[in-house]
């Protein structure tokens, strides 16, 4: 991720793209802040790529919220600026899987982990996070996994140790 951001920064400088340059510098600053925080606590030297993706996603969410407010208040000039920033940030993230691809990935992860009941959701989520980092909305995927277990049995499957009859 760092290399991608640095390459994009060099490209933006050579093209003279001011907005892109500004956004990439903001990202580098946010990453440097996280690096410094990690070093101060002695946890690590550098922020891992997963955290960099999270930083970018947070920046996107912030801009989406701002864009929504600008649109509601008729400030379309500011709304357009936020949308342009969102587009720049989104280009740095891996492409998102389609709904069909997410469904297939969940089914494959459930099969490979041997998940047969709701208590195995964590196994499935770990497998998906490992195989598809940043490529799907894991909150939505978690809900989808729960629904699959729910629909498979008509209700959530409970392990015998946790049944209410004990």
- Ordered per-residue pLDDT tens for the chain, 166 residues: 899 999 999 999 999 999 999 999 999 999 999 999 988 988 888 898 888 998 999 999 999 999 999 999 999 999 999 999 999 999 998 888 999 999 999 999 999 999 988 999 999 999 999 999 888 888 889 999 998 888 765 443 444 444 334 3
Are residues 63 and 141 part of one domain?
A: no
- DSSP letter at 2 equals H
pLDDT of residue 156: 38
Contact 132, 104 (CB under 8 A): no
pLDDT of residue 163: 39
Distance, in Å, from the CA atom of 80 to the CA atom of 137, rounded to the nearest integer, reads: 25
pTM for the model stands at: 0.70
Are residues 86 and 14 part of one domain?
A: yes
Residue 150, in any domain of the structure: yes
Helix (H) or strand (E) holding 125: helix 121-131
Are residues 103 and 81 part of one domain?
A: no
Distance, in Å, from the CA atom of 97 to the CA atom of 109, rounded to the nearest integer, reads: 15
Are residues 118 and 67 part of one domain?
A: no
Instruction: Write the CB contacts of 49 (distance below 8 Å, at least 6 apart in sequence).
Output: 1, 2, 133
CB atoms under 10 Å from CB of 80, counted, come to 13
Distance, in Å, from the CA atom of 148 to the CA atom of 142, rounded to the nearest integer, reads: 10
Exposed (0-12), middle (13-18) or buried (19+): which is 109, by Cβ within 10 Å? Answer: buried
Within 13 Å of residue 96, how many CA atoms lie on the same side as its CB?
A: 11
Residue 166, in any domain of the structure: no
pLDDT of residue 71: 94
pLDDT of residue 153: 53
Look at residue 43 and give its three-state secondary structure.
coil
Q: Which of 159, 127, 158, 124 is nearest to 144 (CA)?
A: 124
Are residues 73 and 43 part of one domain?
A: yes
Provide the residue range defining the domain that includes 151: 99-161
Contact 82, 66 (CB under 8 A): yes
């Amino acid at each position: 991720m760092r290399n991608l951001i640095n390459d994009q920064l060099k490209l933006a400088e050579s093209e003279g793209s001011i907005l892109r340059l500004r956004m990439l510098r903001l990202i580098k600053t946010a990453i440097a802040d996280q690096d410094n925080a990690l070093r101060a606590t002695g946890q690590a030297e550098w922020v891992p790529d997963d955290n960099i993706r999270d930083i970018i996603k947070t920046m996107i969410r912030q801009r989406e919220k701002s864009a929504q407010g600008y649109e509601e208040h008729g400030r379309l000039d500011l709304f357009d600026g936020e949308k342009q920033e969102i587009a720049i940030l989104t280009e740095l993230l891996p492409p998102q899987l389609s709904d069909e691809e997410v469904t297939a990935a969940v089914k494959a992860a459930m099969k490979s982990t041997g998940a047969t009941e709701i208590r195995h959701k964590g196994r499935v989520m770990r497998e998906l996070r490992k195989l598809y980092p940043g490529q799907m909305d894991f909150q939505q995927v978690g809900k989808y996994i729960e629904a699959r277990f729910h629909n498979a049995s008509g209700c959530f499957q409970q392990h015998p140790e946790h049944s209410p009859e004990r």
